[in-house]
Amino acid sequence: MSELANASARTVIERLRSWNAEAVSQIVEHRGETTLVVPHKLLRAVAKQCKEDPELNFNQLSDATCVDRYPNEPRFELNYQLLSIPRQARICLRTSVSGPHPVADSLEPVWPGANWMEREIFDLFGVRFEGHTDLRRILLPEGFEGAPLRRDFPTEGQR
Amino acid sequence: MTTVETPIGTAKTMVLNMGPQHPSTHGVLRVLLELDGEKVVTADPDIGYLHTGIEKSCEHKTYSQAITLTDRMDYLNPLGNNLVYCLAVEKLLGLEVPKRAQYIRVMMVELQRISSHLVWLGTHALDMGAMSLMLYCFREREEILKIFERFSGQRMMTSYIRIGGLALDPPAAWRDMVKSFIDMMPPRVDEYEELLTDNRIWHGRLKGVGYLPLETLIAMSTTGPGLRAAGLAFDNRKAFPYSSYEEFEFNVPTRTESDCFARYLVRVEEIRESLKIVRQAMDKITDQGPIKAEMPGVIPPQREKMKTEMEALIYHFKIFTEGFSPPPGEVYQAVESPRGELGCFIASDGSPKPLRVHFRSPSFVNLQALPLMVKGQLIADTVAAIGTIDIVLGDVDR
């Protein structure tokens, strides 16, 4: 099973690299899962390629989430779980953004389902998404200050 | 007619606040409806009323302590939440769970799926005006909750599935209990169908309502019965089997109409399929055998060993004071919850507490298709559409 998954991941990497040699800067294998680290400038183009290349066919974005590596820089790691329903394959795309006011390219133009997932990341981590059509807070009230899922935000809340 | 622009909509339209206390929003969902007469022009779901910061709390608990929080997200599927979290931690540890525990897990989550679908069916029928069905569904759900109570001591927040296996061995008379339930159930499901499937009012309220084409559903990341009612047989239990699902025989019910009625039929059929899985699981579960994996320093040692072995006592103390530390790395584990793909993403930095725990909750993701579903339809259809998405607000807001 895991060999098959790796074979499918190899195809993805080869297809992406033959499309653009810079597309995948690092490959992380962990517990049978493959994560492709993508330069943040290329994120949307790579995502588009993953969706539109008929041999990759990642037609659904399962999940998008952020990890705060505070105090390391670049501190925000964005993880996108891609799912190809016809090929029954998964892969993870990862990119890093830094600074107190991080900005990343929105994947909403590629998968409209990214809308709420990115709003959630914006709400809880304060990462802005360029090209998002409706970037508002989603879980927290509008007047809330701060980004509570950042590691430097106290668990008991700000006083 | 001249129109005046207001912050939302124009003077021709009216903004109606549906919820957060509206009974058919199943909790505390607020939908801002922009209406042109009875027709919905736009719908904007407003969520977060039940946000409790579970993901943040997980970061400040050890891996085993966080299990109790997962119960409280999707409160109609606590065992499924336990399962996805434990599977993710086990993946992080590279831990293999004994077969007996895997089969018991399958049986429990399938019972949970039935109970969740029963609550859905009962409350949805109630929303549509068929009050008696709710009483029948809750009557049968009660039997499932009694089984859970026997297994774990709790009716709802069971925390029965633990990292590496299960909390307790099944109780002595479990076979009789589960058997009498699955024998009782099929005729009861026929009864529900008799009340609804050919009912003209039910047809009138659901057929052709909340339609979305398959491509839109895929693009909006919808999963679960909503996707299967549009004709795509995608199920994580088949596509990415976990907990030995590959050893079970069951069908993935699909319809092609992609309206509220098709979603109803898919869910009823899923109850029958789950009963088949529970029956198979009962045959596979042996009377004797381990219910927990063995991994010193991670899985608490057996009570007897602690009385004779020094290491066991030390490990016991260490596990419950500082916890265990999985190697650094990230994993994503997906399971098929009654509502769709329930995912758990965990990032470990090698410390006893997770760096990040994220739940990809199916209710949250499926709900974002609501504005598309109700556009141009009547207010009453909005109620039907919200119902058949089957949201649990605890799962949406976490």
Q: Each residue of B104-122: pLDDT tens digit? A: 999 999 999 999 999 999 9
Q: What is the pLDDT of residues B274-291, one digit of tens each?
A: 999 999 999 999 888 888
- Selected for mutation to probe chain B from A26, A30, A31, A156 (highest B CB count within 10 Å) is A31
Average pLDDT over every residue of B244-250: 91
- Tokens representing B315 are 């490990």
What percent of chain A is helix, strand and coil (3-state, nearest 5)? 25, 25, 50
Q: Rounded mean pLDDT of B302-322?
A: 88
- Spans of all domains in chain A: 2-98
* pLDDT of B3 strictly over 80: no
Question: Which of B60, B91, B218 to probe by mutation at the A interface, max A CB count within 10 Å?
Answer: B218
Q: Which residues of A touch B368 (CB under 8 A)?
A: 113, 115-116
Q: What is the mean pLDDT of residues B333-362?
A: 92
Can you tell me the distance from the alpha carbon of B353 to that of B69, in angstroms, rounded to the nearest whole number? 14
CB contact under 8 A, B47 and A139: yes
Top residue of B221, B344, B364 to mutate, by most chain A CBs within 10 Å, is B221
Residue range A3-57, pLDDT digits in tens = 445 678 888 888 888 888 788 888 888 888 888 999 888 899 999 988 988 888 8
Q: What residues of chain B lie within 8 A of the CB of A63, using their CB? A: 332, 343, 345, 358, 360
Comparing CB atoms, the residue among A63, A68, A148 nearest residue B345 is A63
User: What is the mean pLDDT of the segment spanning B92-100?
Assistant: 91
pLDDT at B348: 92
Residues of chain B in contact with residue A116, where contact means CB-CB under 8 angstroms, are 364-365, 367-368
Predicted pLDDT of residue B149 = 92
CA of A53 vs chain B CAs: smallest distance (Å):
16
pLDDT band at B4 (very low <50, low <70, confident <90, very high): very low
A62 touches chain B (CB under 8 A): yes
User: Mean of the per-residue pLDDT values for chain B?
Assistant: 89
User: Are residues A117 and B94, on separate chains, in Cβ contact within 8 Å?
Assistant: no
From CA B282, how far away is CA B275, in angstroms rounded? Answer: 11
Q: Does A158 touch chain B (CB under 8 A)?
A: no
Domains of chain B, first to last:
54-397 (1.10.645.10)
Share of chain B residues as helix, strand and coil, in percent rounded to the nearest 5: 50, 15, 40
Mean pLDDT of B301-320: 88
> If DSSP codes are grouped into helix, strand and coil, which group holds residue B247?
helix
- The verdict on B375 touching A (C-beta cutoff 8 Å) is no
Q: How far apart are CA B390 and CA B398, in angstroms?
A: 16
pLDDT per position as a tens digit, A146-158: 888 988 888 877 7
Q: Domain A2-98 falls in which CATH fold?
A: Beta Polymerase; domain 2 (3.30.460)
Which pTM was predicted? 0.91
Confidence check: pLDDT of B62 > 70: yes
Identify the CA nearest to A69 among candidates A131, A135, A130, A127. A127
Q: Give the whole-number percent of chain B exceeding pLDDT 70.
A: 96
Predicted confidence at residue B2, as pLDDT, reads 42
Whether A118 and chain B come into contact, CB under 8 Å, resolves to: no
pLDDT confidence of residue B184? 92
Residue B357 predicted with pLDDT over 90: yes
